[in-house]
Amino acid sequence: MVGFTSVLMLVLAFTLALPLQGYAKDINWSKIDSARVVLFYPGVTSWEFLTSDDHRLGGREIKQGKKDCRHCHLSKEGELDLKADEIAAGSVKMKRSHNPFEPEPLAGKKGVAQAKFQAAYDDEFLYLRVEWDSKGGGWNRKSPNNSSVPDRVSLQINKTESTFKKYGCFITCHNDLNTMPLSPQKRDVSAHPYYKSLDRSDVRLYANYAKASWDEKRNDKDLEKKLKEGGRIDLRAVEFEGGSAKALDGWIFDDRIWENKSADATGQWASGKYSAVFKARLKSKDAFDIQVNEGDVISVGIAIHEENTAKRKHYVSFPYAIGLGTNGDIKASRISN
Ligand code: HEC
């Protein structure tokens, strides 16, 4: 028995010491439940549009914090009821303002994408896996250059914010972000004290409760409270280019920041599918990472960039609830270490 245990310990120690690629192979994902997630191309759909009269009934309901996106736009069977193909084609306008949903349509861009989403956890980590059909343009690119953009899957994750639970990533997408219709001039951004101190001229994702607009932060006391309550949104991504995957770790609050460390994640393209596995430490002590534990329900929004696109030209999902050993849209299965 002692012999067996020590062999086990050795195997365990070896597994832990393996480089990043090691762990994903240890989970038999074919045995883990999966959810089908619908993603769509949002064009310039912003939080400001969603909460406005331009969004008609939707605007009214969201302002009152009542129904969530899925209630009106996704059937129980998982069918999307939203003019995503028309948005991608640039052929649909907002009802009141008559502004286009996509002023710069990309030729042949489809409006909808599907992904498979799985979750599992053990004593130490939560594992999130995303898989989707793809030609793997980024992965198969032989010689990446300055103008090529890697393919990418990103996750926004939060546990406590009720608006994130209902509306997901959309609370971080604003009319004044870089490449959005009301994006301020670069010189105005770089002249602003905050952006000047960072030597930056681009406005990035921010949570609606952290800033009223790109140059108007909410007051420090409120922000501190929000942070204490878990208002920071964890952000993780895997980029695919030239046959390799790169993991990024970041967060969104009053700005979107990529940290100087990579996320614990792997990814690959094979047999016409991309897949990525993200690993989040349970009871993490890192204030910039999601605090998650058995029994928790967290919300996750997925974004996919493909075909040399960047910034807003991506597919996005509504938020999905993941329960660790408890019910959610997806119940993360417990696996042994
Ligand atoms: C109470 C129901 C309701 C909710 C909640 C709601 N919407 Fe809508 N949404 C609508 C209706 C109705 C329209 C069509 C407006 C029109 O054309 O008059 C619409 C239109 C849209 C459109 C324009 C494309 C289209 O199909 O007309 C987008 C994009 C959109 N909604 C996204 C969202 C997102 C994202 C959320 C959550 C943040 C959301 N909606 C929440 C009812 C809703």
Summarised one tens digit per residue, pLDDT across range 90-116 is 999 999 999 999 999 999 999 999 999
Residue nearest to atom 43 of ligand 1 (CA): 58
Mutational pocket test of ligand 1: of 61, 81, 82, 208, the residue with most ligand atoms within 8 Å of the beta carbon:
82
CA of 73 to the centre of ligand 1 (A): 7
- Average pLDDT on 273-287 reads 96
Average pLDDT value for residue range 306-335: 96
If one counts every other C-beta atom within 10 angstroms of the C-beta of residue 31, the result is: 10
Can you tell me the distance from the alpha carbon of 125 to that of 26, in angstroms, rounded to the nearest whole number? 13
pLDDT of residue 26: 80
Q: Binning pLDDT at 50, 70 and 90, where does residue 9 land?
A: very low
List phi, psi (to 5°) of 82: -160, 145
Q: Would you state the structure tokens that stand for residue 37, as one six-digit string?
A: 């997630």
Task: For residues 161-184, give the mean pLDDT.
Answer: 98
CB neighbour list of residue 81: distance below 8 Å, 6 or more residues apart = 72, 73, 74, 75
Give dist(CA 82, CA 73) in Å, integer: 6
Pocket of ligand 1 (CB under 6 A): 42, 45, 50, 55-58, 61-62, 67-69, 71-73, 82-83, 95, 167, 170
Contacts of 202 (CB under 8 A, 6+ apart): 178, 186, 189
Token digits for 316?
């996005």
Residue 323 has phi, psi (to 5 degrees) of -100, 130
In angstroms, what is the span from residue 55 Cα to ligand 1's centroid?
Answer: 6
- Residue identified by tokens 């301020």 is 184
Q: Ligand 1, residues 73, 166, 174: which to mutate, most atoms within 8 A of Cβ?
A: 73
Say yes or no to pLDDT of 44 above 50: yes
Q: Whose CA is nearest to atom 12 of ligand 1?
A: 57
**58 CA to middle of ligand 1, Å?**
5
